[in-house]
C-alpha cells in the first residue's frame, strides 16, 4: 500500500492504525513491538547514559499525519507533540494540497558551517595567509573523518570574515563541511577544534571559540503547494492572503504564525530524533533575515485564483548518527517515513510546516480555532468514555450544543444512547 490518504484514520482503533502503518511502511514484528510498548522507547539505563543526573524518562504522544504527497511520493508522517489539533491540522492541510498534486519540496545538500574565532592578529595579513593555506586546513579537517572523506564529503571550503565589535575587530574563520546524511554537529566541532592550532600557527594569533553555527543557511529547505480555490472558497483564499500579510508585517502576529509552522516541523523533528532547539534557533534567525522578523511562509494567488503557499527555512537534520540511531522509536519513525536521505527528511518536514500553517490560517480566517479544538477535545472524551465510532458524532454534537464538554457528560450521554 502506498496511498497515505487513509479515510477516517482518527476513528480507527490503535490496533487498526498500527496495522495500516505496518503495511504501509513494511515494518518488522520487532519494529511493531517498539511502537506497541508503552515505555516511551528508552530504558532508564539508556537515559542514564544519554544525559547527566538522570532520574527517569518522559513520554509524549506519538501520532501519524495522513494524506501527505511530496514530490509525487506518499508519506505517513510521524509526529510527537503534546498539543491537540496539530496532527489533525497537518493531515487536513495535506489532504487539500493533494487535490492539486501535493507538495513540491527541495532541500540543499547538507553543508554545515563551523566557526573559529581568531584574536590578536593582523586581520588583513592573516586572511591572506589562511586563504593561501586553505588546502592544508581542509586536509587537516578531513583527516578527522574517514567516513566522510571516503564518500567524497567533509570539509570543502575555508572562508574568512571580519566582524566589528565594541571591543575591537575580530577575524572569524568559517569551515564549510558536507556532512552527508548526519546532522553533523559533532564532526563540525571536531574539525573546528582540530584546525585551530594550525590557524594559530599560520596567523600568529589566538583562537577562542571553535564551534558549529546553528544558523544553517547552507541547508535551506523549501516547499510549495497549490490549494484549490473550489475547496476553500474564493473569499477565504483572499482572507488567507490578508492573514498572511498581517503576519508578514507585524512581529507580534508573525511570532504566532511561525509558531504554528514550527508545530508541524518540531513534531516531526521530535519523532525522528532531531535537535529541535537547533532548528528553532535557525528558523527564528531566518525569519529576521530582512532586518525585521517576518512570516516564514508566503501566501499568494496564482492566475487561476488558487491559493499558493510556500515555505522556506534552514533545516539541519540527519538520519544517521545522534539520537536518530539510539532511540528505537525515532529509528522506527524514520522507517515509517521511508526517507533515505537527510534531504528527503527535510523535504517532509518543510511540507509538514506548510500544511500546518495552511490549516492554522484557514481556521483563523474562517471560524476561528476554538471550535475545531473543542470538537476534537469532545471527540477524544467521547472515545475515552467508551463510545463506538458510530456513537461518537452524536455525543460530540450534543456536548457542543450544551457547551458541556467533560468525560462525565460523555459517559452520561453514552448511557442514554
Ligand atoms: C497554536 O499552537 C498555533 C496557532 O496559534 C498558529 C497561528 O496562529 O497561526 C493556531
Nearest-atom index, ligand 1, CA of 363: 10
Candidates 83, 124, 304, 393; catalytic one: 83
The closest residue, in CA terms, to atom 4 on ligand 1 is 260
Surface-to-core class of residue 235, CB atoms within 10 Å of its CB (0-12 exposed, 13-18 middle, 19+ buried)? exposed
CA distances from 187 to 113, 197, 305, 379 (A): 11, 17, 48, 47
Residue 314 and residue 323: Cα distance in Å, rounded?
20
Compute the residue count for the chain: 417
pLDDT in tens, 336-345: 999 999 999 9
Same fold, 111-213 and 371-416: no
Q: What is the mean pLDDT of residues 66-91?
A: 97
> What pLDDT sits at residue 325?
79
Please tell me the predicted confidence (pLDDT) of residue 322.
Answer: 84
269 alpha carbon – ligand 1 mean position (Å): 18
User: What is the residue extent of each domain of the chain?
Assistant: 9-107+222-366, 111-213, 371-416
Predicted confidence band at 372 (pLDDT cuts at 50, 70, 90)?
confident
Strands, E assignment, 34-130:
62-70, 73-80, 103-107, 111-119
Distance CA 240, CA 381 (A): 31
**pLDDT range class, residue 324, cuts 50, 70, 90:** confident
Give the distance (Å) from ligand 1 centre to CA of residue 251.
14
Q: How far is the CA of 196 from the centre of ligand 1 (A)?
A: 44
Q: Per residue in 342-356, pLDDT tens?
A: 999 999 999 999 999
- Assess whether 83 carries a catalytic annotation: yes
Domain range 111-213, its CATH number among 3.40.50.920, 3.30.70.420, 3.40.50.10140, 3.40.50.880:
3.30.70.420
- Assigned fold of 9-107+222-366: 3.90.770
What lines the ligand 1 site, CB under 6 Å?
A: 83, 256-257, 259-260, 263, 360-361, 364, 369
**Nine cell digits for residue 219:** 541547508
pLDDT in tens, 262-303: 999 999 999 999 999 999 999 999 999 999 999 999 999 999
Centre of ligand 1 to C-alpha 114, Å, is: 34
**Angle at which helices 86-99 and 370-384 cross, to 10°:** 110
* Single pTM value for the model: 0.93
Tens-place pLDDT, residues 224-250: 999 999 999 999 999 999 999 999 999
Domain covering 371-416, topology: Helicase, Ruva Protein; domain 3 (1.10.8)
Neighbouring-strand partners of residue 119: 206
pLDDT confidence of residue 225: 98
Nearest atom within ligand 1 for CA of residue 369: 10
Q: Indicate which residue's Cα is closest to atom 7 of ligand 1.
A: 257
pLDDT-derived band at 367, boundaries 50, 70, 90: confident
The yes-or-no verdict on residue 1 having pLDDT over 70 is no
Per-residue pLDDT tens digits for 41-65: 899 999 999 999 999 999 999 999 9
User: Of these residues, 259, 367, 388, 393, which one is catalytic?
Assistant: 259
Residue 369 CA to ligand 1 centre (angstroms): 8
φ, ψ at 162 (rounded to 5°): -105, 135
Ligand 1 atom 3: the closest Cα is on which residue?
260
Q: Whose CA is nearest to atom 9 of ligand 1?
A: 257
CB 318 within 8 A of CB 183: yes
Query: Is the per-residue pLDDT at 187 higher than 60?
Result: yes
Find the catalytic residue in 11, 136, 275, 412.
Answer: 275
Amino acid at each position: 500500500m502506498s496511498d497515505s490518504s487513509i479515510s477516517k484514520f482518527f476513528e480507527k482503533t490503535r490496533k487498526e492504525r498500527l496495522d495500516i502503518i505496518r503495511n504501509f511502511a513494511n515494518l518488522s514484528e520487532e519494529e511493531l513491538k517498539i511502537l506497541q510498548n508503552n515505555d516511551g522507547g528508552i530504558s532508564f539505563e539508556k537515559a542514564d547514559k544519554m544525559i547527566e543526573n538522570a532520574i527517569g524518562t518522559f513520554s509524549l504522544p506519538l501520532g501519524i499525519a495522513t494524506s501527505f504527497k511530496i514530490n509525487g511520493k506518499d508519506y505517513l508522517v510521524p509526529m510527537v507533540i503534546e498539543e491537540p489539533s496539530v496532527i489533525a491540522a497537518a493531515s487536513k492541510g495535506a489532504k487539500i494540497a493533494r487535490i492539486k498534486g501535493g507538495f513540491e519540496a527541495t532541500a540543499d545538500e547538507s553543508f554545515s558551517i563551523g566557526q573559529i574565532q581568531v584574536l590578536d592578529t593582523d586581520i588583513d595579513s592573516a586572511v591572506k595567509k589562511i586563504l593561501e593555506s586553505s588546502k592544508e586546513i581542509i586536509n587537516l579537517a578531513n583527516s578527522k573523518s574517514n567516513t566522510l572523506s571516503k564518500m567524497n564529503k567533509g570539509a570543502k571550503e575555508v572562508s574568512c570574515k571580519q566582524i566589528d565589535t565594541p571591543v575591537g575587530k575580530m577575524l572569524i574563520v568559517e569551515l564549510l563541511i558536507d556532512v552527508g546524511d548526519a546532522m553533523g554537529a559533532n564532526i563540525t566541532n571536531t574539525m573546528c577544534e582540530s584546525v585551530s592550532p594550525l590557524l594559530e600557527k599560520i596567523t600568529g594569533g589566538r583562537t577562542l571559540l571553535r564551534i558549529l553555527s546553528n544558523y544553517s543557511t547552507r541547508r535551506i529547505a523549501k516547499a510549495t503547494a497549490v490549494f484549490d480555490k473550489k475547496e476553500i472558497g474564493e473569499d477565504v483564499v483572499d482572507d488567507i492572503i490578508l492573514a498572511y500579510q498581517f503576519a508578514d508585517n507585524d512581529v507580534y502576529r508573525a511570532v504566532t504564525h511561525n509558531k504554528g509552522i514550527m508545530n508541524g516541523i518540531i513534531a516531526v523533528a521530535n519523532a525522528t530524533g532531531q535537535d529541535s532547539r537547533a532548528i528553532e534557533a535557525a528558523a527564528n534567525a531566518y525569519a529576521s533575515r530582512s532586518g525585521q522578523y517576518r512570516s516564514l511562509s508566503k501566501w499568494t494567488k496564482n492566475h487561476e485564483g488558487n491559493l499558493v503557499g510556500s515555505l522556506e527555512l534552514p533545516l539541519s537534520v540527519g538520519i544517521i548518527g545522534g539520537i536518530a540511531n539510539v532511540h528505537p522509536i525515532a529509528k522506527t519513525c524514520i522507517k515509517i517515513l521511508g526517507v533515505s536521505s537527510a534531504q528527503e527528511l527535510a523535504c517532509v518536514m518543510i511540507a509538514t510546516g506548510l500544511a500546518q500553517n495552511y490549516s492554522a490560517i484557514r481556521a483563523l480566517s474562517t471560524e476561528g480555532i476554538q471550535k475545531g479544538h473543542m470538537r476534537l477535545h469532545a471527540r477524544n472524551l467521547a472515545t475515552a468514555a467508551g463510545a463506538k465510532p458510530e456513537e461518537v458524532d452524536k455525543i460530540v454534537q450534543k456536548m457542543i450544543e450544551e457547551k458541556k464538554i467533560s468525560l462525565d457528560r460523555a459517559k452520561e450521554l453514552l448511557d442514554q444512547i
